[in-house]
Amino acid sequence: MGIFKRMKTITAAQMNSALDGLEDPIAMLNQYIREMENDLLKGQEALARQIFLENKQKTLILETEAFVSKRIGQAKLAVERGEDPIAKLAIQEKLVHEKQLVLYNEQLKAIQLQTESLKNKLSEMQNKYDEFQHKRILLISRANVARSIKQIQQTTVSFNSESVANGMARAEDRILMLEAEVQASESYNQNRNFLSNDLSINNEELEVELKNLKEAAKVTA
């Protein structure tokens, strides 16, 4: 009976371990970041296509304007020569392309609005990505610390549940536990200080940036 109970315990432990692996918070955070990176890449590609379309429309407008200008010159020259049929043909083509030019400019405005909208969305995505990257670093640090504490607690339970042969062994185990606690505490403080120093902005840095902006504004003015 004891063998079957032990096998059941081992099987349950293995299943729980597998589930924990599927819900690994660090793996989940990394996956979320990869998904955001893919979205950013798709957004950049969409913006590139939109800018290409906008430039193409501008080229079409320039070509149409040049064509209209050319037909105006041809119509004037035909009138001077008394060639009214040719003048009428040039004027007709000028009028048709002027109407096209109005349509092309309206289309360009719509395209430019879409381009600006894409730029704004991409900028928002980039800001969110940067924000989540910083948050990911903090969460990973917290996850590592939590895992360390969990391991220490599990080890503590294991120590308390074992039958110690003599007092010397118990004392030795306790000393090892104290050393582990000190190491874990030092590691936690180092990580917390590192993140705090890395992300903090002091007043001196703010003043320097503000001074640079003011000087740049004076130069521009």
How sure is the predictor about 143, in pLDDT bands with cuts at 50, 70 and 90? Answer: confident
How confident is the model at residue 180, as a pLDDT?
Answer: 78
What the block records as the tokens of 7 is 């096998």
Rounded Cα gap, residues 153 and 97, in angstroms: 81
The per-residue pLDDT of the chain, averaged, comes to 77
Torsion of CA 112, 118, 123, 128, to 10 degrees: 160
pLDDT more than 70, % of the chain: 70
The pLDDT of residue 36? 87
Least confident of 42-46, 52-56, 89-93, 189-193: 189-193
The residue with tokens 């309206």 is: 106
Task: Name the region of 82 (left: φ>0; alpha: ψ -120 to 50; beta: rest).
Answer: left
pLDDT, tens digit (0-9, with 9 covering 90-100), for 53-73? 999 999 999 999 999 999 999
Query: Domains of the chain: which residue ranges?
Result: 2-161, 163-221
Considering the domain 2-161 in this protein, what is its CATH number?
A: 1.10.287.620
Specify the higher pLDDT residue, 157 or 209. 209
Backbone angles phi, psi at 100, to 5 degrees: -65, -35
Angstrom CA distances, 55 to 50, 101, 103, 109, 205, stand at 9, 15, 16, 12, 41
Token pair, residue 82, equals 């008394």
**Percentage of the residues of the chain whose pLDDT score is greater than 90:** 31
User: For 5-53, how does the pLDDT look when each residue is reduced to its tens digit (9 = 90+)?
Assistant: 555 555 554 555 544 454 577 777 788 888 888 989 998 999 999 999 9
The candidate with the shortest Cα–Cα distance to 37, out of 120, 138, 128, is 128
Residue 209 has which token pair? Answer: 């940036």
Region 165-179: what's the mean pLDDT?
A: 69
User: How many beta carbons lie within 10 A of that of residue 149, not counting itself?
Assistant: 13
**Among candidates 147, 142, 138, 149, which has minimal Cα distance to 185?**
149
98: Cα separation from own chain's centroid: 44
pLDDT for 85 beyond 50: yes
